[in-house]
Structure 1
Amino acid sequence: MKNLRNSYLFILVLAFNLSSCKFFEKEDPKPVGEDLNFTKYLAVGNSLTAGYTDGGLYREGQLNAYPYILAQQFKTAGGGDFLQPLFSEQEANGSGYLKLTGFSPAGNPILTPVTTNLALRGGIPLPGGPKLTKYTDVNLQNLGVPGMSVLASGVALYGTLNPYFERLLEDTDVITKTYRNFISNRNHTFFSLWLGGNDVLEFATNGGETKPGNPFSGLTSIADFRENYNRLVEALTANGAKGVVATIPAITAIPFFTTISVASVRALAKAASPQYDVYIRTGSGSTDVRVAQPEDLILLNAVGTIGRMDMQIPHGYTPDNPLLDIEVLDKEEAAEIKARLAAFNNIITEAGKVNSLAVVDMEAAFNGTLVANSILSIYQQGVAQNPAPIRNSLFSVDGIHPTPRGYALIANEFLQAINRQYGTALPLVNPANYRGIAFP
């Protein structure tokens, strides 16, 4: 059991051959086709738009955010500068993050929280965390807010809950301005909109449980999503600006949900004793316990508890001490999330088509090119002896957010969608120029 608890670099890694990679072009063609105006590009979204990585928002991640990469490519078509709410060099570590600092003698990863050079203001923290150093420039163009959901975009009090949003607001706007109002009237000429993941993510990472007192921790209703998403698009297209929208990837395909398989835990249980198996709790009732099935998803946050001895009973191995509901996304909950995401993505795609916007099928990209056909798992022993795959990884050490290389690949998906929709020839970027996991 020790091996599972300690052997978990919760990443999936990129395993593509850069010499034959289709993600970048050798030439630097000039944009052609419809005359787009990239003079002022506005990026709207959540943590992915902000450049969140390794479990935090910090300066290096911001400088490798996909909107920043896009803005550099837009300059080949007359695009202007791109203002981001960067943390200063003195506070470069922003909110703090997780850093890979080495490996144990057994070859297992050691993750250490970075707690120096943070951008914290002190005082009473918000429900979402400590307050961060303010950045309220009215010319701001990267409006990505970690934690932002389509549902939350229409709630005025959200600035009192989320420190990343509060950071961007004037004090007088914190309790009155919605995110939708915040992104409106920016005089932009082109925009990207990638929102919706957080309308299911917290529910999923909490094992299909809604947190009491948190209205944003459940699954957003389809009706609420449609209304709020369409109003976001209306705000962004009000001045005639063109843009690109992106669908939501399959949440349950990311490492947070795939690193620990039922089969791997079952093998450990059987090795401990043939009478053991993997048991999960599916509800609050005394009989809501069953043997885990392959379609059940054991969450990454259970890695330290599996096999733990509780009153001489190993956790997860018997029906008397099953994995908790918050440690597993059972197959019924996973199916519910899949259906809700399908409905959300239909709304996003429809909004894009109705408004003649480019649409990035990010669900297909993550399931296909970016994940399913090009990655392998390296959370077993032997990682320390073969560090190269770690450096190439698409996902950062939090198991949810990309590395800079992952963001470069995402930027290419946006660029290709723009080129298809508008007949342009914006050059793609070379992912090899961006790092994967930062190796010590």
Structure 2
Amino acid sequence: MKKYIYKASVLALFAGVLFTSCEPEVDYDVNPSAGAELDFSNYVAVGNSLTAGYQDGGLYREAQLNSYPAILADQFEEVGGGEFVQPLFSEAERNGSGYLRLAGLPTPTSPVLEPVTTELAVRRDVQPLPGGPRLTKFTDPVNNLAVPGISVLSAATPVYGGVNPYFERLLTDAEVGQKSYLQKVAETQPTFFTMWLGNNDVLTYATNGAVADPTNPFSDKTPVATFRAVYTQMLAALTKGGEVEGVVANIPDVTAVPFFTTVNLNSIRQSESVPDDAVIYIKVGPAPTDVRPLTMDDLVLLTTKDKVGRPDQVQTPAGPVAIPHGFHPANPLTDSEVLDQAEVAEIKEHVRQLNEVIAQVADANNIAVFDVNAFFNNIKGGFNIDEVTYSPAFISGNLFSLDGIHLTPRGYAIIANEFIRVINSYYKASVPTVDVTNYRTVVFP
């Protein structure tokens, strides 16, 4: 069988996900105005990895500088916006948590990825947290409060500061394990805010093949009632009783993200040394007989790619036998390596329910909603901006970074423009959009 050369990254511990309305509108020539309602003097961004600028399986200084809140803040300066402080890694520790770089691309869907392991902000003087190594502290007040991996559920839990290194670095030692993200957000005094939170209330579960980790209380789908209660508190903390305006973004569909759509039955069959009629088997239940052939309605995770065809030793009545992983009912792709058709439907329905909550809570607070879900679904077939083609395709689509979930700087610029479009429409403002071609896509070797 073919030996796959996708060097699987450690996809960030708490991955967080991505985008969605109609084909992007670009208007670089406007008369800048905040309109009658908006005050951008103290813009605060609340969210997860997408808000932090996370990309390529990690968080690093260049990524932070190209986060969509940083891009928004630059545009807000033209209409009275103030200073926007991010918890940037220093130049000496510019590679932050570490990330992936593209070392080669033998085929469009088979990149050779290598980890960047120098000039990190990883602390060696203390024990790691359950969520990974601790990072250099940044406890000064910040405007970008994004925490990679955070969910609405974990946002209300003080202990989370002692679990997630991205949140721990924003807290003083005395606050770790004592102050929740919700409390941290409530301390801010924004004049305007964006909040893109809720992805990880589904995504952590989805990226593990719809399998919850019994050792991680935040790895399952967040119950709708719990989500509603915490999300309501979060928005109340930001709006300050209706005094502060902002925009919230909802949760995208997993079928719009290359982490879930790049590897499928056809792409496996098209791989070198795999017969065109090869049958791939997946596990769909706990019993030994709960195995069936993979179909095009099942989503093989991107991190499963290098495992397909791996020669595994499988115990048989005649003794251990090497059987290619996935190519025999006795050695199927595991439940955590695939989202089967039923699991896809389950996750899509949960996303729909959580997005309904987001819309209802935003409406109750008279806050604008960026429908990211609709945006990503509407761009699945691709679109053009300034004669450049974009799509949700892995690497070649120009939108998604090397982890298949988070965006490139160009992708974040497009998202920033969509936020601006919503702001201008809802609040009758004229914030100028950004020229997305000033931002890079995937860096090729």
TM-score with structure 2 length normalisation? Answer: 0.88
Matches of residues 344-383 of structure 1 in structure 2 within 5 Å? 344-369=354-379, 371-374=380-383, 375=390
Residues 1:413 and 2:423 aligned together: no
Q: Is the 8 A contact 1:23 1:429 kept in 2?
A: no
Q: Which residue of 2 aligns with 1:145?
A: 147
Tell me which of 404, 412, 436 is aligned to 1:431.
436
Tell me which of 253, 257, 272 is aligned to 1:254.
257
Residues 1:76 and 2:60 aligned together: no
Q: Is the 8 A contact 1:23 1:431 kept in 2?
A: no
| Equivalent position SS for 1:151 | helix
Q: Which residue of 1 aligns with 2:2?
A: 2
Q: Which structure's residues are more often helix, by fraction?
A: 1
Give the length in aligned residue pairs.
Answer: 416
Identify the range of structure 1 (91-100 vs 300-309) with the bigger mean alpha-carbon deviation: 300-309
Residues 1:309 and 2:316 aligned together: no
Distance 1:215 1:344 in 2: 19
Deviations 1:191-215 (A, max 9, x none): 1110000001111111110112101
The runs of 5 or more residues in structure 1 that have no matched partner are 11-20, 380-388
Q: Structure 1 residues 24 and 106, CA, compared in 2 at 3 Å: closer, same or farther? A: closer
Distance 1:43 1:188 in 2: 9
Q: Is the 8 A contact 2:266 2:296 kept in 1?
A: yes
Q: Structure 1 residues 325 and 108, CA, compared in 2 at 3 Å: closer, same or farther? A: closer
Q: Is the 8 A contact 1:49 1:67 kept in 2?
A: yes
Q: Is the 8 A contact 2:382 2:392 kept in 1?
A: no
Deviations 1:273-320 (A, max 9, x none): 85x411100122111111112211111111111122223322111211
Q: Structure 1 residues 351 and 105, CA, compared in 2 at 3 Å: closer, same or farther? A: closer
| Equivalent position SS for 2:174 | helix
Q: Which residue of 2 aligns with 1:14?
A: none
Distance 2:107 2:333 in 1: 29
Q: Structure 1 residues 290 and 95, CA, compared in 2 at 3 Å: closer, same or farther? A: same
Identify the range of structure 1 (159-168 vs 262-271) with the bigger mean alpha-carbon deviation: 262-271
Deviation of 1:104 after TM superposition, in Å, equals 5.2
Q: Which residue of 2 aligns with 1:91?
A: 93
Distance 2:228 2:419 in 1: 22
Counterpart amino acid of residue 127 in structure 2:
I
Counterpart amino acid of residue 315 in structure 1:
H
Q: Which residue of 1 aligns with 2:41?
A: 39
Distance 1:270 1:58 in 2: 38
Q: Structure 1 residues 9 and 434, CA, compared in 2 at 3 Å: closer, same or farther? A: farther
Tell me which of 132, 135, 155 is aligned to 2:135.
132
Distance 1:434 1:100 in 2: 18
Tell me which of 329, 332, 337 is aligned to 2:347.
337
Q: Is the 8 A contact 2:6 2:306 kept in 1?
A: no
| Equivalent position SS for 2:369 | strand
Q: Which residue of 1 aligns with 2:267?
A: 264
Distance 1:283 1:108 in 2: 30
Deviations 1:228-285 (A, max 9, x none): 11110011111611111001111232111000112232455995485x4111001221
Q: Which runs of 4+ in 1 moved over 6 A?
A: 7-10
Identify the range of structure 1 (51-60 vs 236-245) with the bigger mean alpha-carbon deviation: 236-245
| Equivalent position SS for 1:143 | coil
Deviations 1:64-111 (A, max 9, x none): 000001111111210101000000001000000001123459995321
| Equivalent position SS for 1:200 | helix
Distance 2:189 2:99 in 1: 34
Q: Is the 8 A contact 1:199 1:219 kept in 2?
A: yes
Q: How many percent identity over aligned positions?
A: 49
Q: Structure 1 residues 377 and 182, CA, compared in 2 at 3 Å: closer, same or farther? A: closer
Q: Which residue of 2 aligns with 1:173?
A: 175
Counterpart amino acid of residue 5 in structure 2:
N
Distance 1:26 1:106 in 2: 33
Q: Which residue of 1 aligns with 2:13?
A: none
Q: Which residue of 2 aligns with 1:17?
A: none
The runs of 5 or more residues in structure 2 that have no matched partner are 10-22, 313-320, 384-389
Distance 1:162 1:57 in 2: 13
